[in-house]
Amino acid sequence: MTGRARPLYARDVSRPSPPERSPTFGLLLGLLITFSAVLLYSAYITWQVTGLRKLQTELVDRNRKDSLQLLRIQNDLNLLAVAMRDMVSSNEPYPLTAWSAQFQRIRTDLDDAMRLEAEYAETTRTPDQSAFLASSFTQFWDAVDRVFALAREGNAKDAREQIQFSLQERQASLSTAVARLLVQNSENEQQAGQRIVQIYDRVQRQVYVFLAATLLAILLNSLSVIRWNRRLFGRLGEISERRSELAQKLIATQESTLRYISRELHDEFGQILTAVGSMLRRAGTHAPEGSSLRADLQEVLEIVQTTLESVRSLSQALHPVMLDEAGLESTLDWYIPTVERQTGIAISYEKLGAVFSVDGGAGVHIYRIVQEALNNVARHSGARQAWVRLRFLPHTLELDVEDHGAGFAERPSKRGIGLVAMRERAELMGGEIVFSRPAEGGNLVHLVVPREKAEAHGREKEDHSVARG
């Protein structure tokens, strides 16, 4: 222990790399771009759907309603044609004025049909077409009025001539105009259908393109997240390795320091106090019997003896020499009764299985875990009884330290470096330590160490200590 102190990290350990730039900005930018694309495409789709709805409502539906009114007008014109045919026929025994009421009913229905048709045809009808149709019907009804005027005056012959040479031609012209409008509506409806199909096809293609772009953006973001996660976990793994290495070196340094102090107390101070005691005994033999000097020398001798025992106890507490000389099993056989005497806690200690040798560093770690667990029982649990179970199994070495006191869950503020050190020691042995709460309450510390790790770990640590000089 007189050699030069070694640094915690070897010279060949590389320095920590500088911190990498945070991926937050890139991920937020990717999220913003994706979100903006979704909003823009949603607005575009809304605009397309609105246009499609407008096309269907204002063009297709109005066109169908207009066609229905044109068919109604065409039907009324056909009724007028039949009536005029009967009026010019010489076989009819009725006067021409008998058809006046029928013409009036048809005229009323035609006026209503023309009004509705004009409302539905606003977007598809040109002003010239609307004006021509309205003027044609006006001229037709003016001619009808003249015919019935002639009939009422008794000029039936002239009236029939007017019907034959004027009204029928006007009716045929109106029927032709209405038929053309029906054909135009049919063409408009066909064109609207084609436009609707084109819109559907365009939207469908763009949906596929948008889905592909969205999947690509999600893939890129996911790859970026995976890349940064791999870097992050790599850094975490590197930090974990360095932390484990640091913990191992700190614990090794701590144990070396405690071993050194323990040996110095036991060897140097113990020998000095032993020598002082011997000198006091010799001096006491030369002092007169019953003298005050002899009594004072005896009192000083008792003080020296008490101090010597305290130094030896402190030496054992810092690093029991028995660990190096007799091993873990004998050390625990000595330590647990000592704790019982010091704390007044009844400790039930049992060993199970075929005992095997636990060497060096592993024995130190297990001893320190038992020491820390029993210290927690004495200081924090309030329990007056504890159980220590050491099981030597074919493949593992298991340790239980149990109490039925307060438990960690009821005193979280009491958790400190001791529990962290216990976990570190368990990891250094390649084992696992679990803190749990038994059914009866309190706390249970359960340590499992692979047998080959426990046996090999001590030799490796000793070899390492020898190599360090």
3-class SS letters over 356-372: CCCCHHHHHHHHHHHHH
Residues 231-251 pLDDT 10s: 888 888 888 788 777 877 887
CA–CA gap between residue 429 and residue 459 (Å, rounded):
12
Q: How many other CB atoms are found less than 10 A from the CB of residue 61? A: 13
| The predicted structure's pLDDT at residue 242 | 83
Neighbours of 403 (CB within 10 A): 28
What backbone torsions phi and psi does residue 23 show, to the nearest 5 degrees? -80, 5
| pLDDT at residue 32 tops 60 | yes
Q: So what's the pLDDT on residue 390?
A: 92
pTM: 0.50
pLDDT band for position 434 (cuts 50, 70, 90): very high
Distance CA 422, CA 418 (A): 6
Which alpha helices (DSSP H) does 319-445 contain, by range? 321-325, 328-343, 360-376, 417-428
Name the average pLDDT for the chain: 80
Phi, psi of 271 (to 5 degrees): -65, -40
Q: In this prediction, what percent of the chain has a pLDDT beyond 70?
A: 87
Q: Write the single-letter amino acid at 97.
A: T
Tell me which residue of 396, 458, 387 sits closest to 433, measured CA to CA.
396
Helix (H) or strand (E) run with residue 101 in it:
helix 100-120
- Token representation of residue 456: 């090999």
Region 213-221: what's the mean pLDDT?
81
Please count the other Cβ atoms lying within 10 Å of the Cβ belonging to residue 17. Answer: 8
The enclosing H or E element of 385 equals strand 385-392
Other C-beta atoms closer than 10 Å to the C-beta of 284 total 16
CATH of domain 320-468: 3.30.565.10
The segment(s) of the chain belonging to CATH 3.30.565.10 are 320-468
Q: Which of 72-76's residues contact partners 24+ apart within 8 Å by CB, and which partners?
A: 72/109, 72/113, 73/110, 73/113, 73/114, 73/117, 73/178, 74/175, 74/178, 74/179, 74/182, 76/106, 76/109, 76/110, 76/113
Confidence band of 7 (pLDDT split at 50, 70, 90): very low
Q: Whats the size of the chain, residue-wise? A: 469
Dihedral sign for Cα atoms in the order 286, 290, 294, 299: positive
CA Rg, the chain, in Å?
Answer: 56
pLDDT digits (tens, 9 = 90+) for 263-299: 777 777 778 888 888 887 888 777 777 778 878 888 8
Alpha carbons within 13 angstroms on the beta-carbon side of residue 365 total 35
For the beta carbon of residue 411, count every other beta carbon within 10 angstroms.
Answer: 15
Residue 86's CB: how many other CB atoms inside 10 A?
A: 14
Residues 6+ apart with CB under 8 A from 64: 189
The CATH number of 24-221, from 3.30.1940, 1.10.3470, 3.40.50, 1.20.120, is 1.20.120
Residue intervals of the chain classified under CATH 1.20.120 are 24-221
